[in-house]
A and B are shown apart, each in its own frame.
Chain A
Amino acid sequence: MTRRLLILAGLLALAACKREQREVRLDPPALDALDQVALMPNGIGGAPPDVLPALGRPYETNAYQLSQGKRLYGWFNCTGCHANGGGNVGPALMEGWWRYGPDVQSIFASIRDGRPHGMPAFKDKLTTEQIWQLAGYVQTIGTYAAKTAAPTRNDEMQSRPSESRGPAGADIAPPSR
């Protein structure tokens, strides 16, 4: 009896061994396919590339990809206009209101092609995969539902939990419209 319990405990402990996979290299055909976003005629919404759900939407659900996105957010000076999500020259990202749609393919298109009134296009500076990483991270800044994956925490003091850990609505009231 004790032996059976021990074996069961051992099996349960093994369940903890699964570590999130880091996909650091996508096959070139998958990379090409990631660029095929079918936007609506107004450049908003539409469908993400078919390959994205096939890969398991890693740029929204994988902690490594979110962390890489966060790294790019600092590296490519998104903070210069959007601050740490609070907005400055550019609109705020953390209040949960998306001018060009909350879905990740709209955010992807905003970064890749730019938007009117100042948002530059990053397609010559970032690869498609990097734009997806950044889009996935940007989406978490203004998220209203907690996700199971979060990017690395900041070293500085923070007034709220890590992006996508707690819904933004917990400490900021959404704008009434």
Chain B
Amino acid sequence: MTARPLRLPALAAVLACGGCGTPWQSALHPGGAQAGGLLDLITIFTAVCGIVWLLVMIVTLLTLRRRRAGIEAPLPRDEGTERRPRRAVQAAVATTVVIIAGLTLLSFFVTRGLTADDPQALVVRVRAYQWWWEFTYQDPRPDQAFTVANEIHVPVGRPVRFLLEAPDVIHSFWVPSLAGKQDLIPGRSNEITLVADQPGVYRGQCAQFCGLQHAHMAFLVIAEPPDRFAAWQVAQRQPAPEPATDEASVGRRIFLARQCAACHTIQGTTASGTLGPDLTHVASRRYIAAGLLPTTRGSLAAWTADPQTLKPGNNMPMVPLGSDELSAVSAYLTSLR
């Protein structure tokens, strides 16, 4: 029994620990103007609603205490005492209308900026699949456009306009540290614009339940200075590097001959499938399988060997490979930097 008083504080402490991690996915740690505006909105709404709640509670408590004084029934009719409650109700209704109208207008003006169309914006087409993200950097010159998966880089200070599409089911694009949510709906096109004001790594997550592996549908937004972003862009436009070792070139041969090439693209080879993530520079990304595992040769091999154990229900089949073949394929994938 002595442990009971400690139980609640202990629970609260455990919950509080949830806030201790790196704030790379938190609406309370904005990294850009849009998220900053939304944080102001959250703060104002919480404060106003908190004050209203407090006032209501105080008035309720006062009323309850006054009842105790004992009132004779039936109440005697008295014009003076009846006018007061009527005024109080009128005042409360008026205040409610003003507060709600105020919050509505505030919300309108803050969120209006979220879809602002800027001609200078970088345009990225997003296609959300079960359960990964495809990003295509648009360019007026088609040969300069390129496709990546599950990890994007953006220049600090420049707006990025995301054109949102979903070929299978409804998903939702959410980078809490940079902007609010926007749904991707099959058959419709949506948009969201965001600016990262501070360099950093921000985590995004599908925010609309989309099936078995909804929880493993994350992506990274890496905001970096414009010159580093330009260098990254140039690197991503390059075809995949030629395999440097014999093992890697055997791996490439297996990749192209087996089922892998039917779903994945590797620029510079004959692999041109579009059903799975583009693997041209897969080893340059920090995670594989939409945030499931950090990119290492081991995780790439494990994923290739048995995707259904690591992420049950995903659409990558288990391609039967011998241990030598698996080793060669993982060597090749690791070389795709």
Q: How many pairs of residues, A versus B, come closer than 8 Å at their CB atoms?
A: 38
Is the CB of A119 closer than 8 A to any CB of chain B? no
Say whether B26 faces chain A, with CB atoms less than 8 Å apart: no
Asked if A171 is at the interface (CB within 8 A of a chain B CB), the reply is: no
Given A124-B258, A127-B259, A155-B186, CB of A32 within 8 Å of CB of B320: yes
Q: Are B318 and A125 in contact (CB under 8 A)?
A: no
Choice from B257, B318, B320 contacting A25 with Cβ under 8 Å: B318
- Contact-size category for A: 10 to 19
Q: Per-residue 0/1 for A118-131: is the Cβ within 8 Å of any B Cβ (1 yes, 0 no)?
A: 00000011110110
Which residues of B are found within 8 Å of A124, using beta-carbon distances?
257-259, 262
Beta-carbon nearest neighbor of B305 in chain A = A28
Chain B residues positioned under 8 Å from A32 (CB to CB):
320
Give B310 Cβ to nearest chain A Cβ, in Å: 10
Q: State whether A155 touches B317 (Cβ < 8 A).
A: no
A75→B275 contact, CB < 8 A: yes
Q: Answer whether residue B313 sits at the interface, using C-beta atoms and an 8 A cutoff.
A: yes
Q: Of A75, A127, A130, A155, which contacts B320 at CB under 8 A? A: A127
- Contact across chains for B262 and A31 when beta carbons are under 8 A apart: no
* Complex: chain B residue closest to A123, CB-CB: B259
Q: How far is the CB of A122 from chain B (nearest CB, A)?
A: 9
Given known pairs A71-B315, A127-B317, the reply for A25 and B262 (CB within 8 Å) is no
In the bound assembly, the distance between CA atoms of A124 and B255 in angstroms comes to: 11
B269 within 8 A of A: no
* Interfacial residues of chain A within 1-54, with CB under 8 A of chain B in the complex: 22, 24-26, 28, 31-32
**Is B239 interfacial (CB 8 A cutoff)?**
no
A100, chain B: closest CB distance, angstroms: 23
Complex Cα spacing A26 to B259, Å: 17
- Tell me which residues across on chain A come within 8 A of B257, comparing CB atoms: 124
Which residues of B have CB within 8 Å of A75?
A: 275
A129 CA to B317 CA, complexed, in Å:
8
Sample of 15 A–B contacts (CB below 8 Å): A22-B313, A24-B313, A25-B306, A25-B308, A25-B318, A26-B318, A31-B320, A68-B315, A71-B315, A75-B275, A124-B262, A125-B262, A126-B259, A127-B318, A155-B186
A interface, CB within 8 angstroms of B: 22, 24-26, 28, 31-32, 68, 71, 75-76, 124-127, 129-130, 155
List 6 other contacts, CB 8 Å, given A25-B318, A31-B318: A25-B306, A28-B318, A124-B262, A127-B259, A127-B317, A127-B320
- B contact set with A: CB distance below 8 Å: 186-187, 257-259, 262, 275, 306, 308-309, 312-313, 315, 317-320
Ranked nearest first, the 9 interchain pairs of A and B with the lowest CB-CB distance are A25-B308, A125-B262, A127-B317, A24-B312, A24-B313, A24-B308, A75-B275, A130-B317, A127-B259
